[in-house]
Structure 1
Amino acid sequence: MIQATARRSSFHAQGARVFYRGNPVYTQAAPLRIGLRLWGIDEYEVLRWGERLPTLGERIVWDIVHDPDSDDAGMVIHLVRSSAATLGSFCWNCVGANRAMYRATRSSSLNVAVFSGDPRRLPTPSYGLWAMAGRRSEAETVHEVVRTLVFPRMMDTR
């Protein structure tokens, strides 16, 4: 279940447990905060599927972030949905996310963009790591990005 935290527009799963090779994952380390920055995606849509995002036994906390300079997140995933096709090859959401990714090169947190739409509409040059959703939903792509980039790191910090 997603419940609001003290931060505005934030959520995390309460009481979630994830089993890894048959054993619960326990640690004394502070949880990793992963912020979701939305570009062309409705916040309520993300809140619906966000409660199913992995928490690794409360070692990962998910938040929707609005502040572009939010440095308290260990990782930011920019969810970018292509703008309306009436704009032609221009993608306003892509431009905003690309600027944020460029600014993030100077931050200490990992930034990844998950793009849904026609890849020909991506800005050139694109800064940082962009994952293409393709036929997958944004939720499936976010889960795959976290499984690939975060899970191995979290298993090393037991």
Structure 2
Amino acid sequence: MIYPTTRRSSFNASDAEVLNRHNRIYTNASPLLIGLRLWGFERLEVRHWGENLPTLGGRLAWEIMREPDNDAVDVVIHLVRSSATTLGSFCWNCVGANRAMHGARHGAVLNVAIFSGDARRLPAQLNGLWVMAGKRPAEDIVHEVVRTLVFPRVANAR
């Protein structure tokens, strides 16, 4: 299910796309909000598999970001799909995501990029942490990134 977020942010909360499930547990802490920023991915596609992302019993909430500078999220995962091959070796989605990662490097929010496509099309110099999906589905890689980088943050926040 897609639910509007109740956290304060710079965008209209009633239009936010938050991905979560109903298996919540009661905690005193608000959930860690993970924003998915799409570069070449379709919203409907991500919404479809996004409902299966882990919530850790309500400790994690997922949002497809509409605003690039959303200050309400705790973690940003940039989902980057290689641009059309008609552009040759140039990957517009990669350049945009790389600039966003560069701009976020001194911020307090963890930013990670997941790239799907031919790694030879990536910019020569990458900013931040990039994960190469190869031929694996982006959904599987998002699960792996969250298990590796986010679960420990949530466990340490007790």
Q: Does 1:11 align with 2:18?
A: yes
Cα distance between partner residues in 2 of 1:7 and 1:126: 35
> 63-72 or 5-14: which moved more?
5-14
> What's the offset of the Cα at 1:135?
2.0
Q: Matches of residues 3-152 of structure 1 in structure 2 within 5 Å? A: 3-5=3-5, 6-17=13-24, 27-152=27-152
State the Cα RMSD in Å. Answer: 1.5
How big is each residue's C-alpha offset from its partner over 1:31-80, in whole Å with a ceiling of 9 and x where there is no partner?
10100000000000000000000000111110011222112111000000
Cα distance between partner residues in 2 of 1:7 and 1:70: 15
* SS of alignment partner, residue 133 of structure 1: strand
* Alignment TM-score, normalising by the size of structure 1: 0.89
Decide whether the 8 Å contact of 1:78 with 1:111 is kept in 2.
yes
Cα distance between partner residues in 2 of 1:7 and 1:147: 29
> What's the offset of the Cα at 1:9?
4.1
Cα distance between partner residues in 2 of 1:59 and 1:147: 13
How big is each residue's C-alpha offset from its partner over 1:63-110, in whole Å with a ceiling of 9 and x where there is no partner?
011222112111000000000111111000000000000001132100
Cα distance between partner residues in 1 of 2:4 and 2:62: 11
Cα distance between partner residues in 2 of 1:143 and 1:35: 14
**Which runs of structure 1 show a deviation greater than 4 angstroms over 4 or more consecutive aligned residues?**
none
Amino acid at match of 2:23: A
Amino acid at match of 1:15: H
How many residues align? The count is: 151
Decide whether the 8 Å contact of 2:117 with 2:135 is kept in 1.
no
Cα distance between partner residues in 1 of 2:80 and 2:14: 22
Amino acid at match of 2:128: G
The 1:82–1:42 alpha-carbon spacing in structure 2 relative to 1, beyond 3 Å, is same
Structure 2 alignment gaps of length 5 or more = 6-12
Cα distance between partner residues in 2 of 1:4 and 1:137: 26
